[in-house]
């Protein structure tokens, strides 16, 4: 009886050890594997933001434009020294931690759409997400576009929503064709020094408010190579908006023009933009509702026909305004007025 009791006790201990070992093997490794898989999946997938689908008008926020039709937005991230496209237009964008909370929105206007990208208002209305913009070639192909930097995005999901909206809405200016008037000839100036004003003005088509155009250069030409006969005093610039925001351009003094003497003419050029086709540095004439459709380019010049070394009784003064169209082409508004010392040229 003593031996049987001892054997039973030994067998009971062995059974308990086996049960404990099996429980440890089945449970602990399973918990460890599940934890590792979950962490790896979160890091590789990032989180999604639903890209904005709508743009708005400079004048009237009730007028909206559609991504993929009226404008395009390419979404880029700068990773390891290079830009990577992570989405376009209305696609959901996956935000990775490697983006550092910053992505770029490259906004373009497709062919056939007559809109300017309003960089100033886009930044103003999207603050604080958009703190800056540039006009550059992200693809390094020589084609510049507006690039808006979206900063301070969460690097990990916020709250329970994994597809939160991305609050970015670009703004645009609808374009229209400005036309230039034809002032009457100026006569009976005399042969002494006299200051005259040629009252050029531009107008948009009647009944089409809430439009604008972009001017990049103003040029005046006179058919004389004698600087004593004609002196450019100023030309009015009526622009009220730029990619820096509201402006009052006003009178551009003659000293701000670059004079070039040709074989038969003097040409005076005022470069508004860094080049005639640079959208980012031009100025806008804006025609809003209940505003005057009158954009004066009045020229002030001093004439002295008596100073001519060769008898001169008449001069032709020409104004050219360079308009940059949304398609990237240039339209020149041109008009010529004659100025005579006597009753006729």
- Report the topology of domain 179-340: Immunoglobulin-like (2.60.40)
Q: Check pLDDT > 60 for residue 10.
A: no
Of 118, 124, 112, 146, the closest CA to residue 59 belongs to 118
Q: Where are the domains of the chain?
A: 47-173, 179-340
Residue 304 binned pLDDT confidence (cut-offs 50, 70, 90)? very high
Mean pLDDT of the chain: 85
Check: CB of residue 126 under 8 Å from CB of residue 136: no
pTM for this one?
Answer: 0.82
145-158 residue pLDDT tens: 999 999 988 766 65
| 30-34, 75-79, 86-90: range with lowest mean pLDDT | 30-34
As a whole number of angstroms, the distance between CA 305 and CA 248 comes to 34
Distances (CA, A) of 13 to 9, 26, 58, 72: 6, 21, 85, 75
Inform me whether the pLDDT recorded for 27 exceeds 50: no
3 CB-contact burial (10 Å; exposed 0-12 / middle 13-18 / buried 19+): exposed
- Is residue 236 scored above 50 in pLDDT? yes
Listed residue (142, 129, 71, 81) closest to 103, CA to CA: 129
- Candidate from 52-66, 151-165, 256-270 with smallest mean pLDDT: 151-165
Look at residue 173 and tell me whether its pLDDT is greater than 60.
Answer: yes
Q: How far apart are alpha carbons 160 and 148 in whole angstroms?
A: 28
């Amino acid at each position: 009886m003593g031996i049987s009791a001892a054997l039973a006790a030994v067998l009971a201990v062995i059974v308990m050890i086996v049960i404990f070992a099996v429980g440890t093997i089945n449970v602990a490794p399973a918990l460890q594997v599940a934890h590792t898989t979950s962490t790896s999946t979160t890091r590789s997938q990032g989180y999604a933001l639903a890209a904005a689908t709508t743009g708005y008008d400079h004048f009237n926020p009730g007028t909206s434009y559609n991504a993929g039709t009226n404008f395009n937005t390419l979404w880029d991230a700068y990773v390891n020294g290079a830009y990577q496209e992570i989405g376009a237009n209305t696609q959901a964008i996956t935000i990775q931690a490697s983006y550092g909370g910053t992505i770029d929105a490259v906004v373009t206007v497709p062919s056939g759409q007559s809109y300017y990208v309003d960089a100033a208002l886009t930044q103003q209305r999207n603050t604080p997400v958009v703190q800056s913009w540039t006009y550059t070639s992200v693809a390094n192909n020589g084609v510049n576009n507006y690039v808006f930097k979206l900063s301070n995005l969460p690097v990990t999901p916020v709250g329970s929503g994994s597809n939160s909206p991305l609050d970015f809405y670009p703004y645009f200016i609808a374009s229209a064709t400005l036309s230039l008037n034809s002032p009457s000839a100026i006569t009976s100036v005399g042969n002494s020094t006299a200051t005259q004003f040629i009252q050029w003005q531009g107008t948009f088509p009647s009944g089409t408010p809430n439009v604008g155009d972009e001017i990049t250069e103003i040029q005046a030409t006179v058919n004389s190579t004698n600087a004593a006969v004609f002196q450019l005093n100023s030309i009015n610039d009526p622009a009220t908006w730029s990619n820096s925001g509201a402006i009052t351009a006003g009178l551009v003094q003659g000293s701000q023009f670059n004079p070039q003497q040709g074989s038969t003419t003097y040409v005076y050029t005022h470069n508004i933009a860094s080049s005639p086709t640079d959208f980012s540095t031009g100025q806008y004439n804006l025609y809003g509702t209940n505003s005057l459709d009158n954009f004066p380019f009045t020229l002030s010049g001093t004439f002295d026909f008596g100073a001519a070394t060769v008898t001169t009784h008449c001069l032709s003064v020409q104004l050219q305004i360079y308009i940059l169209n949304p398609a990237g082409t240039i339209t020149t508004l041109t008009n010529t007025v004659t100025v005579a010392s006597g009753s006729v040229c």
